[in-house]
Structure 1
Amino acid sequence: MLLLDPSKKMSFNRCIRDGDLVIVYERHDTMKAVKVCENSVLQNRFGVFKHSDWIGKPFGSKVFSNKGGFVYLLAPTPELWTLVLSHRTQILYIADISFVIMYLEIVPGCLVLESGTGSGSLTTSLARAVAPTGHVYTFDFHEQRAASAREDFERTGINTLVTVGVRDIQGEGFPDEFFGLADSVFLDLPQPWLAIPSAGKMLKQDGILCSFSPCIEQVQRSCETLRSNFTGTDIRTFEILLRTYEIREWKMDCSKVDDDRSVASPPCKRRQPSGEGSMGDNPSSPAVMARPSAEARGHTGYLTFARLEHVS
């Protein structure tokens, strides 16, 4: 995914090659990750697409099937990978991920510790944020889940930026080798308060910890642990609620009156700026309408951040 050239700079400015991972985009809610193989084909409702036709085209290309249907071949960015990855656990989505990266102050060169890895949604974005010289060390207690995440990171090309470990962070804490080296620590655990003392020891002075929890009771327990283990701690908790809108174009025909009052329809009249013609001059006029999406994600969890200073 994060395509690294010999100088370690990320780039998608090259053509698709045999063996690459691409995101096949049909529409905003229908995408899938496909590994390009010269002798393979993709079949969907639009027809049959030959992978051999994809090779040599730049990312973002529009390709056609044997029936004339088309799809787009997109680069597997962290944002798109979050939408198509296999869900081995509940995952963090773009709104939470972007907030986490900003408040953890993650920049290229940072060393970040994460527990647990889960499906790797956040890990992928963390890797891009620390590239090209930083590193993410992520841990999961479940061996098979960690192995699957490791395979995904190899597929997406970020395996040089991410190291996956199998470890029970709640019971064992982070490895001592990271003592005082981490710029940031992220916890996604059922009992984060058990890992907070170890996480604090891993952080550099003025380092930042973030804990993601779905229940407010977990937040309360974590904050108590933060206050009892560290001094001068700036603790803040946020809940990110994302509201999306659907944008559609309507044809407003003001030459006819809709007698069916049971069906809501866009108004056929609106105030025109001074000097413009009235709607009557153009009885069938397009208008762009926006409304909240019927299926909107609500609560995902609470994000608790703390800038830690060790007790002397």
Structure 2
Amino acid sequence: MTGRTDVAKENDLVLLIGRDRKRFILRLTSGAQLQTHRGVIYHDDIIGRPLGREITSHLDYPFLVLEPSTHDLILDLERTTQIMYPKDIGYVLLKMNIKPGSRVVEAGTGSGGLTLALARAVMPTGRVYSYEVRPDVLRLAAKNLDKLGLLPFVELKERDIGEGFDEVDADALFLDLRTPWLYLAQARAALKSGGFFGALLPTANQVVQLIGALPDHGFDAIEVEELLLRPYKAVPARLRPADRMVAHTGYLIFARKVERVPAPEADEGQGTPSEGIETRKGE
């Protein structure tokens, strides 16, 4: 039984969902208990038993026991700053080819929402290098990542990226900053040739600034995208959109670092292609 991956073990993270859809994420500890509005749940009632089943609190209220997803973990983060929404994070992982073994640079750690997802994507052989200038915010991100066992895959650095990144030949780099166009030279120096660049910005004016600056710093294949998420009420008798949707949370900007061959200089005296060509206008 201990070899089964669907069996809850001590120190595992589990997700509890009540019939009222209230959610709790906890790390299992022998002898511990969780106090909820629907009664006490004893960790020992979960440890050693299969996931995907119901347990009951001491008030006989049922909870479903599941393995939490990355989406669940992001929404459960302790935070003092706005985090990227899971709908944007998931798309970033796909667009920037983040996979096990990738080396990814991030600036603007915040509370660690994107960092969490990057770490889970690159593990066990990859690495995330995350930069943040605010020490209190960085401490919270470290706490969040440590709680989830992800710190071994992340290097947190308290630094202004205007000084540059330590990394070179990174596979991907993401900027979650107010003025990313000011740091494109640093981003280019950190990326491998053909590497993936990404950024998140809240306003169109900022996007214009960034996409105008990207070509001047050796980036091409520029894309600007926005994701809108509409959940539905999953009731067979009255399936319809939920009253609220996750609409504009920011613009996603993607590009690739490229190496361009300088245009050949014209031979002296040859002039430009249009020189010496007479037109018939006015004849």
Q: Shorter-chain-normalised TM-score: which range? A: 0.7 to 0.9
Contact 1:12/1:59, CA 8 A, preserved across alignment: no
Q: Deviations over 1:253-304 (max 9, x none)?
A: xxxxxxxxxxxxxxxxxxxxxxxxxxxxxxxxxxx32211102121000000
Larger relative CO (CA 8 A, sep 6+): 1 or 2? 1
* Greater Cα shift, 240-249 or 206-215: 240-249
Aligned residue pair count: 259
Task: Report whether the alignment pairs 1:115 with 2:107.
Answer: yes
Alignment of 1:273-288 (within 5 A): 288=237
Amino acid at match of 1:142: R
What is the aligned partner in structure 2 of residue 198 from structure 1? 186
Amino acid at match of 2:41: F
CA drift of 1:22 comes to 2.5
The change in CA–CA distance for 1:27 and 1:226 in structure 2 (over 3 A counts) is farther
CA drift of 1:207 comes to 0.5
* Greater Cα shift, 217-226 or 297-306: 217-226
Q: Which of these residues, 276, 281, 298, is aligned with residue 247 of structure 2? A: 298
The change in CA–CA distance for 1:240 and 1:14 in structure 2 (over 3 A counts) is same
Rounded to whole Å, the distance in 1 between the matches of 2:19 and 2:258 is: 48
Gap runs ≥5 in structure 2: 262-283
What is the aligned partner in structure 1 of residue 215 from structure 2? 227
Secondary structure at 1:220's aligned position in 2?
Answer: helix
Alignment of 1:1-312 (within 5 A): 13=5, 15-26=7-18, 30-169=22-161, 171-175=162-166, 178-179=167-168, 181-230=169-218, 233-249=220-236, 288-310=237-259
Contact 1:223/1:235, CA 8 A, preserved across alignment: yes
CA RMSD between the two structures: 2.1
Contact 1:23/1:32, CA 8 A, preserved across alignment: yes
Rounded to whole Å, the distance in 2 between the matches of 1:210 and 1:12 is: 39
Runs of 4+ with deviation above 6 angstroms: none
Rounded to whole Å, the distance in 2 between the matches of 1:59 and 1:142 is: 39
Amino acid at match of 1:236: E
Rounded to whole Å, the distance in 1 between the matches of 2:25 and 2:184 is: 36
What is the aligned partner in structure 2 of residue 273 from structure 1? none
CA drift of 1:209 comes to 0.2
Contact 1:235/1:306, CA 8 A, preserved across alignment: yes
Gap runs ≥5 in structure 1: 1-10, 250-287
Identity %: 35
CA drift of 1:311 comes to 5.5
